[in-house]
Structure 1
Amino acid sequence: MSYKIAAPDEYLAITGMNIKNVHITKTAWVWPFQRCTRFSVQPHDYAMNLQAMTKEKLQFLLPVVFTVGPDVNARGANSKFAPDASSGEHAREEDRGDALMKYAMLLADSSEKNKGTQYLENIVKGIIEGETRVLVSSMTMEEIFTAREEFKRRIFRNIQEELDQFGLKIYNANVKELKDAVGSTYFQSLSQKAHEGATNQARIDVADAQLRGNVGEADRRGQQERQIAKINAETAVQKTDRDIERAAAEANLATQKTNLNRDVDIARIQATRATESRDEDLKRDVEVKRAAAELERLRATDVVKATIAREAKQQAADANAYEIEAEARAQFEQANMVADANLQKQLKEAEGITAMADAYAKLGQAFGGPDGLLKYMMIEKGTYIQLAKANAAAVQGMQPKISVWNTGSEGSGSGGNGGGQDSGAAMRNIYQMLPPLMSTIHDQTGITLPEWQFGRLPGNEVARRDENQGSNGTGKEHRNR
Structure 2
Amino acid sequence: MYRVASANEYLVITGLGINDIKIRKKSWVLPGQSSTFIDLSPVNYTFEVQAMSAEKLPFILPAVFTIGPFDAKDSLKKYAKLISSHDKNSSHVKELVQGVIEGETRVLAASMTMEQIFKGTKEFKKEVFQKVQLELDQFGLYIYNANVKQLVDVEGHEYFSYLGQKTQMEAANQAKVDVAEAKMKGEVGSKLRQGKTLQNAAQIDAETKIISTQRQGEGKKEEARVNTEVKIYENQREADVAKANAELAMKKAEWAREAQVAEVEAEKAVALKEAELQKDVEMMNAMTTTEKLKAEFLSKASVEAETKAQEANWNLYQKQKAADAILYEKEKEAEAQRAMAEAKFYGRAKIADGELYAKKKQAEGLVVLGQAEGVYLRTLMDSLGGNYEAVRDYLMINRGIYQEIASINGEAVRGLEPKISIWTNGGEGGADGGNAAMKEVAGVYKMLPPLFKTVHEQTGMLPPTWMGNLPVADSSKPN
**TM-score bucket of the superposed structures, by smaller chain:** 0.3 to 0.5
TM-score, normalising length: structure 2: 0.37
TM-score, normalising length: structure 1: 0.37
Q: Between Structure 1 and Structure 2, which shows a larger proportion of helix residues?
A: 2
